[in-house]
Structure 1
């Protein structure tokens, strides 16, 4: 008999190929938020708000009584804590609410890291403007941000009383209630993608970023050359971090800043990374995190004993045209580039349309904007909606070079400003 799991959310839902693997998937999602072609990979879809544990339990409970789930899992940030509560309710192995909460709440995570003498970073839970002013007076250049923030939203560097006050006021205006201030971590940002099973953690891929002045990443590339000289420390710190938050199973994505004092934890997540990182890891390191997400917890595939060595380089770069209205998009691409277009007038239900279909393409371009469409300013990762290029190369640098050439061959012609 096939093994049965429930998957909470995902854009795209990471369940392609589940039936062929002998896995019956019940997908819990919100109406209109999942792609139609995912239905062929599911046993059924049930609807519930992804951040409402009680609602998810209500729709899953009769199905669990009828035929128990082996696992209940998610890879979307909004469902992390709610899925943890559901896992605890059904007493299943997986990411508990405790683990999900520690990873989401940056104040709780910083406190835990300090208790474990891991990645020392000065921080403070901020409840008023004076807290921020006092912290900056003591530690100098700092960052004020939501303690449960995602997608690089509402991050405010501050260096004196005036900028600390302005940052506090901006967060209050945005109705952010849970706020943290941290010492500014100066250096390149890198990440480590890992997988855990039975409490054993396997670091797999390591990537680096290019980002704008609002800390929004518009390119991910792997294997990171920035991380190379710090690799033993990064691998060790990743495993110690995952032990500290008591992660026992599943994918994780941990981000670090490489300071002149060594790597420092920026944040971590008990899920697959966004921005196409699992596809980059597959291309560069040969392990398919999307498949492992389904198979390793169920014992279909074994977790490898050792971290893989890179065999290639891979990069994804988002188009970031000048904000405004599109007049037309012109392409000057070579014939061997796989080019895809979303349908004019339709908003894709997934963040990276066609990603699974482009698995064999060495060079690919996806265009998501058409005549009359609006290009937004790049304020968060969610604004990376104009399309992307995907490239595999002999190294990270080679893949980045190919990606740059692909981007330069796509011309977004904008309407002149009035």
Structure 2
């Protein structure tokens, strides 16, 4: 006598990601079709997947065609990616196959900074002056009309190619820099003055929830060197930020899954910078897990599998902060202090990504940082102070290079074999396997639409 027929596991295509991510996908009950780049492949991930396709997954049309063939053989229920490079290919396949999830129109609006600004202005959500420029004269005309200005690539992230133009006197220098850097077409935006935060959200069938507000610290180059949670926001400010971000998510049509949105708290109120249809990089997910007990990736796959109800964060259990390491440009002579920092009870993780003989370059984007310290504290401020003090105990000493650093342009950065310009770096390693299908001890069931965002001051 035959036993009961087993129901096959739903099949999901995952573009990019790490073995730790794949374990979370499997824990949610999926059979995995993995699409990955041959040069980036971690072979240990193959143990977690039913099928693997090694290809340049940054070609959306090709990925959509590949997965259409896979889908015809054995249907997929979703196509997802949690990395910036994989978002558009996943969206192209989602649209091509008519599957639930973020479609191509949504992802392209979020990745195209001009389209994002234009749509929000047309819908009356947040009007920030922006247009495309090519020359110093274009910058001059924009600054004359709108005052202090930021120029940056129309596509891309990681703070690559971002420049502040304070006034008309700074235009010629900015134009010369843009031409030398290879930024021959750029977005000019009205500069928003104020404190920057990011808003980590999760959307459940169109109902949005704030998981965390993240405080940030940036260099003059706009590269981020610190994050802390919970950000110290007054309740009224938190509500205004929440309202703005939710209106933006409704406008672009993001209904399911995580989003990471950058906001400036100006004197006139919160204003949007940009948003992404993924969780935040820079180990922000680790902060959310430390402070609120929620693993955003695990939550996403459980939600896609229909195995969890909507979840909201409870009260923060602690503060947490990450501080990125920097060093003087040159050749690394020595690295000291890491072991002592790792032994500190406040430290969750610390690492250095350079070693003696490596070259440290001037920081132009997130991948130029030299390591990190992630620490706990009583609250976000205390954690940020601890992380900063601990980072200062790690000494990365450099000596001048025999020759000056080569000129760095968009083209030379794009020549890296594992990264294309436009990729949003997530410089930290994956936080590791999820302990199980739950989303963490600090999470509480969603109490309903009237509840607040859950982030404390």
TM-score tier by shorter-chain length is 0.7 to 0.9
1:266 and 2:273 correspond? yes
Matches within 5 A, 1:21-170: 21-161=28-168, 163-170=170-177
1:372-393 Cα distance to aligned partner (Å, 9 max, x none): 2222221101112x22111122
The separation in 1 between residues aligned to 2:280 and 2:352, in whole angstroms, is 22
The one of the two structures with greater contact order (alpha-carbon pairs below 8 A, sep at least 6) is: 2
CA-CA distance at 1:143 after TM superposition: 1.3
Give the conservation status (yes or no) of the 8 Å contact 1:337–1:364.
Answer: no
Question: Structure 1 residues 417 and 126, CA, compared in 2 at 3 Å: closer, same or farther?
Answer: closer
Question: Structure 1 residues 41 and 285, CA, compared in 2 at 3 Å: closer, same or farther?
Answer: same
1:322 and 2:308 correspond? no
Match of 1:242 among 243, 249, 269: 249
Q: Find runs of 4+ consecutive structure 1 residues off by over 6 angstroms.
A: none
CA-CA distance at 1:66 after TM superposition: 2.3
Question: Structure 1 residues 227 and 114, CA, compared in 2 at 3 Å: closer, same or farther?
Answer: farther
CA-CA distance at 1:38 after TM superposition: 2.7
Partner in structure 2 of residue 15 of structure 1? 22
Match of 1:393 among 350, 353, 377: 377
Using the size of structure 2 for normalisation, the TM-score is 0.80
The separation in 2 between residues aligned to 1:109 and 1:223, in whole angstroms, is 27
CA-CA distance at 1:96 after TM superposition: 1.0
Using the size of structure 1 for normalisation, the TM-score is 0.87
CA-CA distance at 1:396 after TM superposition: 1.0
Residue aligned with 2:198, SS: strand
Partner in structure 2 of residue 186 of structure 1? 193
Moved more, 177-186 or 290-299: 177-186
Partner in structure 2 of residue 348 of structure 1? none
CA-CA distance at 1:162 after TM superposition: 5.1
CA-CA distance at 1:227 after TM superposition: 6.8
Matches within 5 A, 1:336-415: 337=343, 362-384=347-369, 386-415=370-399
Kindly tell me the number of residue pairs found equivalent between the two proteins. Answer: 395
The separation in 2 between residues aligned to 1:12 and 1:414, in whole angstroms, is 34
Question: Structure 1 residues 175 and 327, CA, compared in 2 at 3 Å: closer, same or farther?
Answer: closer
Partner in structure 2 of residue 331 of structure 1? 337
The separation in 2 between residues aligned to 1:264 and 1:7, in whole angstroms, is 33
Question: Structure 1 residues 49 and 187, CA, compared in 2 at 3 Å: closer, same or farther?
Answer: same
Q: Which runs of 5+ in 1 are unaligned?
A: 340-360
Question: Structure 1 residues 31 and 227, CA, compared in 2 at 3 Å: closer, same or farther?
Answer: farther
Q: Which runs of 5+ in 2 are unaligned?
A: 1-7, 403-457
1:384-405 Cα distance to aligned partner (Å, 9 max, x none): 2x22111122211222232123
1:2 and 2:9 correspond? yes
The separation in 2 between residues aligned to 1:237 and 1:107, in whole angstroms, is 19
The separation in 2 between residues aligned to 1:61 and 1:281, in whole angstroms, is 35
The separation in 1 between residues aligned to 2:129 and 2:70, in whole angstroms, is 47
Aligned CA-pair RMSD:
2.4
CA-CA distance at 1:91 after TM superposition: 0.4
Matches within 5 A, 1:296-315: 296-304=303-311, 306-315=312-321
Partner in structure 2 of residue 276 of structure 1? 283
Question: Structure 1 residues 412 and 125, CA, compared in 2 at 3 Å: closer, same or farther?
Answer: closer
Question: Structure 1 residues 227 and 414, CA, compared in 2 at 3 Å: closer, same or farther?
Answer: farther
Question: Structure 1 residues 127 and 326, CA, compared in 2 at 3 Å: closer, same or farther?
Answer: closer
The separation in 2 between residues aligned to 1:12 and 1:311, in whole angstroms, is 28
Partner in structure 1 of residue 417 of structure 2? none
